[in-house]
Each structure stands twice: as structure tokens, then as C-alpha cells.
Structure 1
Amino acid sequence: MLPGLKAGFTLDASLEADSEQLMWLGLCELRLMNDCRWPWLILVPQRPGVEEIHDLTPLDQAMLTFETNMVAQALKKATGCTKINTGALGNIVRQLHIHVIARSEGDAAWPGPVWGHGLREPYSSSEIRRFAETIKAAL
């Protein structure tokens, strides 16, 4: 959605392939995981070479916490979900990124984790646009 604005930052190829850019926050690029089974957002701090939260400066750590909380609140408001799952695993994709996932009782993997559950179901282009507008309004 915002081509050419990377400013020297390179997004991991897996994140690029599996998600769609929604917007830029102060520190992070906000992305939508392209799997319509769960409303699933990803925050990627725009800092080269950062793999862990403790690799960020204290100011960036505070900003990441603020942006993660802001996105989690907006996602909960927009979806009316039962629970927000937030995590930064990085076992496969080492680049620091934070998953914020809306979970509801009865969803495809409830109460288990979403990782490795079934096959991904991509959004249509119009669904991505609608979801992006909903999240932006909630933010």
C-alpha cells in the first residue's frame, strides 16, 4: 500500500510474502497476516538488524510497547473478539516482529495456537481494503 517508503529498511521475505502492509505507525510498519481465519496484525519495528526487543534502544522499546497496546486495543474494538494474543517468537523469522491476533471462542483453532493449524485462507483484495479501513478507523 505504501511502496518505496522503506528508507533503507529491508523487510524479511517471509513477512513480505505472508502479509500485506496496512500503514506506518511511529516506529513500526503495521501489516495484516494474509489469512482470513483470524484477524491477525503484525508490527515490524523499522530498525535494521534488530532481532530481539532488548536490541532496541530504551526509547524504541517504549514506543514498541505503546504501538503494540494501541493496535491490540483497536483490534479488540474492531472485532469484538474474546481474547487478544500478542507474541514475538522469531524462531523462524528472526527479524523482530510482534503478532497481535484476535481470538474468539469457536474460531478454527480455539483454544490452541494459530501457528501450524490447517491451511492459510488468503483475503481477497476487497477484504484487505475493508479490514484496513476498519483498523485505521479504530486506531
Structure 2
Amino acid sequence: MNDFTLHPRLAGDCLTLGTLPLCRVLLMNDRTYPWLILVPQRNGIAEICELTEADQQVLIAESSSVAQAMLTLFKPDKLNIAAIGNLVPQLHVHHVARYRSDPAWPGTVWGRDRGEPYPAEQVGELLRAFLRHLPDLQASV
């Protein structure tokens, strides 16, 4: 997967935490919302149905593992999971922990002004927490 290219918008908005067997794991650089994005490391894919059946199964398993980790770590009121792609055509799956107290509740977080970026030490703490809950995660920060 050395030839995989991340869409520039994702690269600009996110920090790379690491990789799972299929997906690159990104942290949206906005500490307002705990928000991970899974990007299958396959070039030219816009929709889940374009993945091979085997990759579809891996994506669902990785998404479920990330969701469980986020539920455990963040204890949100709701976990929003979506593959929208209106602005970024590269297949990516958002996992956003939502709270009744967050600024966008009950609306969506899409298209809002960027919040406050994470300080480096908090990124390190989050990475260590995810490494404990996602044994297949290979760290890259």
C-alpha cells in the first residue's frame, strides 16, 4: 500500500494516528468533537460497494472496532458514523462522538467552522489510548 495517496483535504484537516490492516486512521484536528476517520488505503475508490467483498468485510470490522473504542474512551451520548464524501470523493468513514452538550447538538457537525486544534500532548494521549483499545493499530505519530 506504499502507493496510496490521501486526499489533500483529509491530509490538511486531520492528523494521522496510524494504520489498521485496511484503513489509515485519522484524527480530525478539532478537539471540539472526538472524531476519527477511517480511509481504506485503496486509490480510486469513492464508495464502499467499489471495494472487494473481502475489503468491505475488513472495513466493517475496523469501523466496529473503532466505534467500540470510541464508546469506551469517550462515553458519548451518540456515536455518528457516516461515509458522506460530498467534498472529498475519496472513500472515508467518519466516526464522531456526540454529546447533548456539544455546540452542534442535535444538528450535524459537517460544514461547521473548524474548532480548536489539538495540542501535541493531547494527540499523544489519544494515540496511547487508542493503541490500548485497537491492538491492530500501527502508530505513525
Classify the secondary structure of the residue corresponding to 2:21. Answer: coil
Classify the secondary structure of the residue corresponding to 1:85. Answer: strand
| Alignment root-mean-square deviation, CA | 1.0
Matches within 5 A, 1:110-121: 110-121=105-116
For residue 27 of structure 2, the aligned residue among 25, 32, 48 is 32
The separation in 2 between residues aligned to 1:99 and 1:133, in whole angstroms, is 20
Count of matched residue positions in the alignment of Structure 1 and Structure 2: 134
For residue 99 of structure 2, the aligned residue among 101, 104, 107 is 104
Mean Cα deviation higher: 70-79 or 111-120: 111-120
Among all aligned residue pairs of Structure 1 and Structure 2, give the percentage whose two residues are the same amino acid. Answer: 44
The separation in 2 between residues aligned to 1:131 and 1:37, in whole angstroms, is 14
- Tell me, which stretches of 5 or more residues in structure 1 are unaligned? 1-5
1:62 is matched with which residue? 57
Amino acid paired to 2:6: L
The separation in 1 between residues aligned to 2:48 and 2:95, in whole angstroms, is 15
Classify the secondary structure of the residue corresponding to 1:120. Answer: coil
Greater relative contact order, per chain length (Cα 8 Å cut-off, separation 6+)? 2
The separation in 1 between residues aligned to 2:29 and 2:116, in whole angstroms, is 7
Instruction: Measure how far apart 1:126 and its partner are.
Output: 1.0
The separation in 2 between residues aligned to 1:52 and 1:40, in whole angstroms, is 20
- Tell me, which stretches of 5 or more residues in structure 2 are unaligned? 135-141
For residue 42 of structure 1, the aligned residue among 18, 37, 47 is 37
TM-score by length of 1: 0.92
Instruction: Measure how far apart 1:119 and its partner are.
Output: 3.4
Instruction: Measure how far apart 1:132 and its partner are.
Output: 1.2
The separation in 2 between residues aligned to 1:119 and 1:127, in whole angstroms, is 18
